[in-house]
Amino acid sequence: MKVKRYKKVNKNLRFFINNFGFRQPFQVLIDGTICYCALNNKINIADNIPRYLQGEIKLLTTQCAIVEMESLGSKLNGALLVLKQYAVHKCGHEGKPISGSKCFLSMLGKSNPNHYIVGTQDRDLQDKVRGIIGVPLLYLHMKTPVLEKPSDISIKASVSRLSAVGASEAKALEELKVKNGLLLSNEKPKRKKKKGPNPLSCKKKMKKPGSNSTISKKEGQPEVEKKKRKRVKISQHIREALLQNKNY
Ligand SMILES: [Zn+2]
């Protein structure tokens, strides 16, 4: 696999790991359409997908998906055999099977709490999956597996989740400060305001002649005189003021 592709799948998968708690082994819900596509392109899902996702995975299907494939006739027998190799996950429709796509959607719910990755070539199901928060979508592009980038709704959910976490962390920190007496309970943390202009952009203040700091301890000479080599430009009006001061 090319490095660029490796980075891309890694990035997409990491999004779901970091934001939605996906963990290995990743559970991939497989339907008949992706089996059919894999068979046509002569690739083995069980080999290719773990290699592509670079992790341990569980390939799952449901009774509903199998029943649907069976009902579509002998033309799909090969794909059906492939599908039947995978573990059959309980979907709650046992005895009363529904269509494969409806079954998968019911397993995803509103926010995919069981962290399924959906593997399908069914365009309609793909669109619906994109509308559910936190569902990675996997499909084949010819012989190549593709883990689609997170859908907009998943990205939005992750952002609002992050900001909520940030707010709750800030609140917890404040409570901790109150508990430790660092902050009064009704006191809000204040931002330190820097007063005055930026000291880096200002000229150094002239030291007042005669103040203690300017007198060297040994000789009692003003420090300004000691550092003769350093030429300090003193403007005319300041020089006059200094001379006036001396005269007092
Ligand atoms: Zn089902």
Residue type, 222: P
SS (H, E, C) 144-176: EEEECCCCHHHHHHHHHHHHHHHHHHHHHHHHH
For residue 108, how far is its CA from the centre of ligand 1 (angstroms)?
Answer: 11
Task: Choose the CATH number for 3-150 among 3.40.640.10, 1.20.1250.20, 3.40.50.300, 3.40.50.1010.
Answer: 3.40.50.1010
The answer to whether residue 17 scores a pLDDT higher than 70 is: yes
10 forms bridges with which residues in the sheet?
Answer: none
169 CA from centroid of ligand 1 (Å): 40
Q: How far is the CA of 210 from the centre of ligand 1 (A)?
A: 93
Please give the distance, rounded to the nearest whole angstrom, from the Cα atom of residue 62 to the centre of ligand 1.
6
**Cα(215)–Cα(218) distance, integer angstroms:** 9
C-alpha of residue 44 to centroid of ligand 1, in Å: 24
% the chain with pLDDT above 90: 58
* 189 membership: H or E segment, kind and range: none
The backbone torsions φ and ψ at residue 190, rounded to the nearest 5 degrees and listed phi first, read: -100, 150
Q: How many A from CA of 141 to the centre of ligand 1?
A: 26
> What integer is the mean pLDDT of 2-18?
90
Task: Encode pLDDT of 48-93 as tens digits.
Answer: 999 999 999 999 999 999 999 999 989 999 999 999 999 999 999 9
Highest mean pLDDT among 1-10, 83-92, 207-216: 83-92
> Ligand 1 centre and the CA of 190: distance in Å?
56
Spell out the domain ranges in the chain: 3-150, 207-240
pLDDT given for residue 213 in this prediction: 47
Interatomic CA distance for residues 29 and 87, integer angstroms:
10
Q: What is the pLDDT of residue 176?
A: 74
Distance from residue 100's CA to the centre of ligand 1 (Å): 7
Confidence of residue 115 (pLDDT cuts 50, 70, 90): very high
Q: What percent of the chain has pLDDT over 70?
A: 75
The residues facing 31 across adjacent strands are: none
Whether the predicted pLDDT of 145 surpasses 60: yes
CA of 118 to the centre of ligand 1 (A): 14
pLDDT category of residue 174 using cuts at 50, 70 and 90 = confident
Distance 91 CA to ligand 1 centre (A): 4
